[in-house]
Chain A
Amino acid sequence: MSSAAMEIPYSVEPRPDTGLYNGKVGIWLFLASEVMLFGALFSSYIMLRVGSDAWPVHMLNVPIGTLNTTVLITSSITVVLAWAALKLKEFNKFRLYMGLTVVLALTFAIIKSFEYRSKFVHYAVEYTHNGQVIEATGHIEGSPWNWSLKTLQNPDHPIESIVFHPDAAGHGHPGEGATIHAGEHEAVTIATKDIHKLESFGPWHHTYLAIYFTLTGLHALHVLGGAAVLAWFWITGPAMWRTDPERLTNRVEVTGLFWHFVDLVWIFLFPVLYLL
């Protein structure tokens, strides 16, 4: 049709009076709205935390969080190197650094998924023992994933009892006070009929976990989306480098800006959720 006849101005070369090409204006505007999106969630975090009676701290594994922070910062460096390589017309280096960036992004996502999993195999249980109601946090023997009382009572596969390994004192859930089995590490067997409540440390367990999963989940979606686009450039880059090298360079620059933003969000998430 007439798409060839009609060119959108400044889609590659910068407009003289603004000094920007269209894509760069677009990405900065998009990032502004992203700031508002994450800003609203961070504000919600503050409002919920200030309004809560007890806010759990140190529920997450700081060394793993630190490792993931390093991984993401490194990927921010490699994405800049990829762009710089294109600017220097060193295409093979671009492929190397862009490939590294994607690998680092996936590494981050994999580490994050292990962290998520650890929450769904960690349980809070409330049961009657010798006429006394006991609350405890810990792990179920065999580390089943996201059980609830309904899972145990499932008429098709009823489970008579669980073997529960309570957390050491000080772990688990400070908001609910020390666990009854303070200091003990011995496993207890709890009959299903004695259990009132059983839930994993999913988003439903506490508002802290709710905001943790929402914030990091949304961030993880950004990581995966960004990684997909970067991988796309790694795959289609060779063809585009031959036909339209400037446009490819611009695309990498613009996506790099997005990638730095994703990194920056994590730089805020890490202290807010892991350290404070």
Chain B
Amino acid sequence: MGKPIANRPFGDGLMSHAAATVASATGSEGNDAHHDSGFWRKYIFSTDHKVIGIQYGLTSLTFLLLGFLLMTLMRWQLAYPGEPIPLLGPVLEKVLGQGMAFKGIMSPDLYNSFGAMHGTIMVFLAIVPLAFGAFGNYVVPLQIGAPDMAFPRLNMASYWVYFMGGVIMLVSFFIPGGAAKSGWTSYSPLATIADMGHRVDGQTLWLIGMVLLITSSLLGSVNFIATIIQLRAPGMTWMRMPFFVWAQLVTAFLLLLAFPPLEAAGLMQLMDNLFDTSFFLPTGLVVSGNPLAVSGGGSPLLWQHLFWFLAHPEVYVLILPAMGIVAEVIANNTRKPLFGYKSLVYSAMAIGFLSFIVWAHHMYLTGMGTKISTFFQTTTMMISIPSVIIVTTLFISLWGGSIRFTTPMLFALAFLPMFGIGGLTGLPLGFNATDIQLHDTYYVIGHFHYVVAPGTIFAIFAGIYYWFPKITGRHMSEFWGKVHFALSFVFMNLVFAPMFLQGLEGMHRRMYDGGATYAAAGGIEGLSQFALKLNVSISHAAWLLGWAQVPFIINLFWSIWKGRKVESDNPWEATTLEWATPTPPPHGNFASPPTAHRGPYEYSQSPAPNGFTPQNEPA
């Protein structure tokens, strides 16, 4: 199937392609070799879904690193409260001002800002753009046999609106008062009054940034759904689509329908901030001993409802693409069809539907009433069923396979138990009786990080190692990939497992000193020294987790230029259509329009010599 390089519609070789895409994402202008007339259209304002996917990937990986950095600094304050941060403390003082980090000590305001921005950056600027923007953009059109997205220019707009949203979020660190500091949930009235002295505060920029990010994901989701409905290759029927495409389709519907209510809420909070309305400000609100001069009559609960109407489907936006990646990698490396493909598809649809009616399980303690709580408790238990079906079918898919323990497969295998832990620890939070004890503690932090960090991020790593040869024409180092995996696996668990214990002891999730004040109180209401000491070990594990990413970062960039070249267009001997393209795929993707003749995972099904039949192979 491989075509010699000279036959490709695009003349650019592997190296220049990869080098230029890196330059494009970092905004580098230094590379004169690429300043031909086509450079800007080809790599910066490209309408090619693959270049846009790479742009999304590199931008969001940068944000992932930044979000992680914020957290490592917070972990210093939690482990050693009130002590100056080594190395970076003076830098913070210089860059953000004395009020934020006097003598390198993190101020409470800075801690709050970092907490809010860690969550915001990780969810909206790192994980979703990676799982949906990067992988979805690059892989979905290839897997359905399309030449590009249905609306290529809209696709470009989507990336650049996302980019602007990211820039506004970053700028907010440097304005007077600093970035938003009311948590990634931005609950009103706190979000409105936190920086009242400043006309344009961090929260205002947060809202403007969010409106842009929501617009970006709206453009993206319209494009994804239209592409999947309209541009499937001949023979690519719905039940022949790879599960990854199904996962992206459901994700796109969630983004399409769940994000607009947050946009509405964001506009209303913006009105509260800028035009003194009272959408979310109740009558009689007193701030610092003074009654607030607003008309009142607003409802803080309204914000929470609108926020979680997005933010719970958002959880599935984070996890469904990850499940899609894991399904692809598992089928490919067990060399057998996925167990229960249709169950996977229907479960993903069920999750998509149910995720719209579980949001208020985040609000059991708001006093919204037991009848409402009961309803949402019931729907929450129902949504765990399709989630468990997906994980179970993926587990059963391993049965009887001759598993290849490649780096992507190791990450995919680790995803299963990690997501399992994350999911099962969610059940006590879904029951409103047990949630009373656990709400807003480190138990919650442990729970959702198990889903997103060793869950989704591991799946993202699996995807990067898996599709890297198609994107660049070279393999990443297997050895360093395995080192990266082993270290990440150990330290991820050392970071998040102890948080369950801290949470069960009642440690609150937003305490600036990591609970030291409560531990000092002693007695029955205090926090044990054991829980407090865990702060130190968790912090050290987090920093080591950071160092464990160094092999990955070096491996990623080194392999672009120096990695082992692929021997064919289909180095993993996979069945899906993205491997039927030249490597890397040119603008327009396929050398000739493909036709799907069979299902996506025909491994070990035929007497074919190497035990697999690609989707485009005629019957």
- Using a CB–CB distance below 8 Å, which chain A residues touch chain B? 1-3, 5-11, 15, 18, 20-22, 25-26, 29-30, 32-34, 36-41, 44, 47-48, 51-53, 202-207, 210-211, 213-214, 218
Given A1-B38, A40-B265, A203-B277, answer yes or no on A20-B298 (Cβ-Cβ < 8 Å): no
Partner of B230 from the list A2, A6, A10 (CB cut-off 8 Å) is: A10
Whether A9 pairs with B10 at a CB distance below 8 angstroms is: no
Q: Which of B256-264, B402-410, B446-454 contacts A (4 or more CB under 8 A)?
A: B256-264
Whether A210 pairs with B277 at a CB distance below 8 angstroms is: yes
Whether A8 pairs with B231 at a CB distance below 8 angstroms is: yes
CA gap between A15 and B150 in the complex, in Å: 12
Whether A8 pairs with B150 at a CB distance below 8 angstroms is: yes
Residues of the B chain whose Cβ atoms lie less than 8 Å from the Cβ of A34 = 260
Whether A6 pairs with B587 at a CB distance below 8 angstroms is: yes
Least CB distance, B140 to chain A, in whole angstroms: 14
**Number of B positions contacting A (CB below 8 A):** 53
Q: Which of B221-229, B467-475, B496-504, B563-571 contacts A (4 or more CB under 8 A)?
A: B221-229
Residues of the B chain whose Cβ atoms lie less than 8 Å from the Cβ of A39 = 260-261
Whether A207 pairs with B295 at a CB distance below 8 angstroms is: yes
Whether A210 pairs with B279 at a CB distance below 8 angstroms is: yes
Considering the complex, give the chain B residue whose CB is closest to the CB of A49: B297
Q: Which of B194-202, B267-275, B510-518 contacts A (4 or more CB under 8 A)?
A: B267-275
Residues of the A chain whose Cβ atoms lie less than 8 Å from the Cβ of B275 = 202-204, 210
Least CB distance, A19 to chain B, in whole angstroms: 11
Considering the complex, give the chain B residue whose CB is closest to the CB of A9: B231
**Could you list 24 examples of A-B contacts with CB < 8 Å?**
A1-B38, A8-B147, A8-B231, A22-B226, A26-B150, A26-B226, A29-B225, A32-B257, A33-B256, A33-B257, A36-B260, A37-B260, A40-B264, A44-B268, A44-B306, A48-B279, A204-B294, A206-B295, A206-B297, A207-B295, A210-B275, A210-B277, A210-B279, A210-B295
Whether B587 pairs with A1 at a CB distance below 8 angstroms is: yes
Residues of the B chain whose Cβ atoms lie less than 8 Å from the Cβ of A203 = 271, 275-277
Q: Is B588 an interface residue (CB 8 A)?
A: yes
Least CB distance, B305 to chain A, in whole angstroms: 8
Given A18-B230, A204-B295, answer yes or no on A25-B225 (Cβ-Cβ < 8 Å): yes
Residues of the A chain whose Cβ atoms lie less than 8 Å from the Cβ of B257 = 32-33, 36
Whether B277 pairs with A204 at a CB distance below 8 angstroms is: yes
Whether B148 pairs with A8 at a CB distance below 8 angstroms is: yes
A-B interface, 10 closest residue pairs, ranked by CB to CB distance from nearest: A40-B261, A37-B260, A210-B277, A40-B264, A6-B588, A36-B260, A204-B276, A207-B297, A25-B226, A22-B150
0/1 interface trace, chain B 309-323, chain A, CB 8 Å (1 if under): 100000000000000
Partner of A44 from the list B47, B256, B264, B297 (CB cut-off 8 Å) is: B264
Whether B302 pairs with A48 at a CB distance below 8 angstroms is: yes
Considering the complex, give the chain B residue whose CB is closest to the CB of A47: B302
CA gap between A6 and B585 in the complex, in Å: 13
Given A1-B38, A207-B298, answer yes or no on A37-B279 (Cβ-Cβ < 8 Å): no
CA gap between A205 and B221 in the complex, in Å: 38
Whether B279 pairs with A207 at a CB distance below 8 angstroms is: yes
Considering the complex, give the chain B residue whose CB is closest to the CB of A50: B299
CA gap between A15 and B234 in the complex, in Å: 11
Residues of the B chain whose Cβ atoms lie less than 8 Å from the Cβ of A2 = 9-10, 586-588
Whether B298 pairs with A48 at a CB distance below 8 angstroms is: yes
Whether A47 pairs with B222 at a CB distance below 8 angstroms is: no
**Contacts between chains A and B (CB distance < 8 A), count:** 144
Least CB distance, B273 to chain A, in whole angstroms: 12
Residues of the B chain whose Cβ atoms lie less than 8 Å from the Cβ of A20 = 230
Least CB distance, A229 to chain B, in whole angstroms: 14
Least CB distance, A11 to chain B, in whole angstroms: 8
Q: Is B581 an interface residue (CB 8 A)?
A: no
Considering the complex, give the chain A residue whose CB is closest to the CB of B586: A2
Considering the complex, give the chain B residue whose CB is closest to the CB of A197: B293
Q: Is B176 an interface residue (CB 8 A)?
A: no
Whether A15 pairs with B230 at a CB distance below 8 angstroms is: yes
Whether A48 pairs with B299 at a CB distance below 8 angstroms is: yes
Residues of the B chain whose Cβ atoms lie less than 8 Å from the Cβ of A3 = 47
Q: Is B35 an interface residue (CB 8 A)?
A: no
Q: Is B334 an interface residue (CB 8 A)?
A: no
Whether B259 pairs with A40 at a CB distance below 8 angstroms is: no
Least CB distance, A2 to chain B, in whole angstroms: 5
CA gap between A22 and B617 in the complex, in Å: 28
Tell me the chain B residues, 228-266 only, with Cβ under 8 Å from chain A.
229-231, 256-261, 263-265
Whether A218 pairs with B297 at a CB distance below 8 angstroms is: no
CA gap between A202 and B274 in the complex, in Å: 13
Tell me the chain B residues, 1-20 only, with Cβ under 8 Å from chain A.
9-10
Q: Is B482 an interface residue (CB 8 A)?
A: no
Whether B297 pairs with A53 at a CB distance below 8 angstroms is: yes
CA gap between A44 and B221 in the complex, in Å: 25
Least CB distance, B582 to chain A, in whole angstroms: 14
Residues of the A chain whose Cβ atoms lie less than 8 Å from the Cβ of B231 = 8-10, 22
Q: Is B182 an interface residue (CB 8 A)?
A: no
Whether B229 pairs with A18 at a CB distance below 8 angstroms is: yes
Whether B150 pairs with A214 at a CB distance below 8 angstroms is: no
Partner of A5 from the list B38, B41, B276, B588 (CB cut-off 8 Å) is: B588
Q: Is B112 an interface residue (CB 8 A)?
A: no
CA gap between A38 and B265 in the complex, in Å: 11
Least CB distance, B20 to chain A, in whole angstroms: 14
New contact pairs (10) apart from A8-B148, A207-B278, CB-CB < 8 Å = A10-B231, A18-B229, A25-B226, A29-B222, A29-B256, A33-B222, A52-B297, A210-B278, A214-B277, A218-B267
Residues of the B chain whose Cβ atoms lie less than 8 Å from the Cβ of A207 = 277-279, 295-298
0/1 interface trace, chain B 344-374, chain A, CB 8 Å (1 if under): 0000000000000000000000000000000
Whether B38 pairs with A30 at a CB distance below 8 angstroms is: no
Q: Is B218 an interface residue (CB 8 A)?
A: yes
CA gap between A14 and B356 in the complex, in Å: 32
Whether A8 pairs with B152 at a CB distance below 8 angstroms is: yes
Tell me the chain B residues, 138-158 only, with Cβ under 8 Å from chain A.
146-152, 154
